[in-house]
Amino acid sequence: MQKSCVTENGVNSNIINAFAHENMSEKEADMGKFEIILWDVDQTLLDFKRSENYAVRYCFGLFGLKVTDEIVAMYSGINEGFWKRIEKGEITKKEALVERFRAFFSQIGVTGVEPEEFQMHYADALGSVYYYQDDSYELVKQLKGQYRQYLVTNGVTHTQRKKLKLSGLDQLVEDIFVSEEIGVPKPQKEYFDRCFSRIQDFDKEKVIIVGDSLSSDMLGGNNAGLVTCWYNPGGLKNESEVRIDYEIKNLQDIISVLKEER
């Protein structure tokens, strides 16, 4: 038989305990099952394609070269190919940053411009502008204090830290993990292991990674044993073998994912 008692104000203690338990359960449900968010930066929180477009056009103007939409698109494709080679370990980042422009200039017939010099100006221009995606600044600001948020990026240290400071995102997160500083890129498991070692009270079961790249963010999440959320505004098909736990088309949709019960 369950015992009960009456408090000084005449209220049954069983009722108080039940009410407290109900409130605690509601609070836990509001928190959801995640406590840590790993955000990708380029083409997730920030619109990299717009920044890339600006940087290419700026540098072409700087060197007195004619630029068109087709030329920008051509560079974008070459650049993406080199970053995928970095992810696979086929080329180092240091090599790729220059070689992408050597390959690009060769393809469009540009001569008399040193790839190393162009790269220097391009990196600086790329870090001087930023464009939020889906009101990402306000989203990260809203989640600050409710979740521990970290940035995980394969970008160049100087470029990433410059634009993250300009955007104000660096003030909203706990830490920023740039692959150039970490020593290995996403999607390698070692990259994530090194990141995890810098996060206090780390519990892998309470972490979710959000990003746009299947080959970098989502595969990296798989390799690290994390819950993955694919940011897929274009509605692309996942034709790879990469496991996707959640998929969102707008960054704001992450709120409903985070509030899922434990």
Q: What confidence category does residue 205 fall into, taking pLDDT thresholds of 50, 70 and 90? A: very high
Q: What percent of the chain has pLDDT over 90?
A: 86
pLDDT score of 1 more than 50: no
| 40 given a catalytic annotation | yes
Torsion angle of the four alpha carbons 207, 210, 215, 220, in this order, in degrees rounded to the nearest 10: -10
Q: Looking at the predicted structure, is the pLDDT value of residue 10 above 80?
A: no
At the second CATH level, the architecture of 49-126 is Orthogonal Bundle (1.10)
More confident of the two residues 201 and 15: 201
Question: Per-residue pLDDT averaged across 52-60, rounded?
Answer: 98
**Average pLDDT over every residue of 145-170:** 96
pLDDT score recorded for residue 239: 96
Dihedral sign for Cα 56, 61, 65, 66, please.
Answer: positive
Contact 187, 220 (CB under 8 A): yes
For position 31, what pLDDT does the model report?
Answer: 57
pLDDT value at residue 262:
59
Residue with tokens 């696979």: 88
Question: Domain extents for the chain?
Answer: 33-47+131-258, 49-126
| Cβ pair 38, 209 in contact under 8 A | yes
From the list 30, 40, 203, 253, the catalytic residue is 40
Looking at residues 233-249, what average pLDDT do you find? Answer: 97
Neighbour-count burial of 22, counting CB atoms closer than 10 A to its CB (0-12 exposed, 13-18 middle, 19+ buried): exposed
b/e code 121-149 from CB counts within 10 Å (16+ = b):
ebbebbbebbebbbebbebbeebeeebbb
With cut-offs at 50, 70 and 90, classify the pLDDT of residue 15: very low
Q: Which CATH number fits domain 33-47+131-258: 3.40.50.1110, 3.30.930.10, 3.30.470.30, 3.40.50.1000?
A: 3.40.50.1000
Nearest alpha-carbon partner for 245 in 227, 221, 231: 227
pLDDT digits (tens, 9 = 90+) for 161-196: 999 999 999 999 999 999 999 999 999 999 999 999
Which pTM does this prediction carry? 0.86
pLDDT at residue 18 is higher than 70: no
Instruction: Give per-residue pLDDT as tens, 77-117.
Output: 999 999 999 999 999 999 999 999 999 999 999 999 999 99
Q: Residue 37 pLDDT more than 90?
A: yes
Calculate the CA 37 to chain-centre distance: 9
Which amino acid would we find at residue 31? M
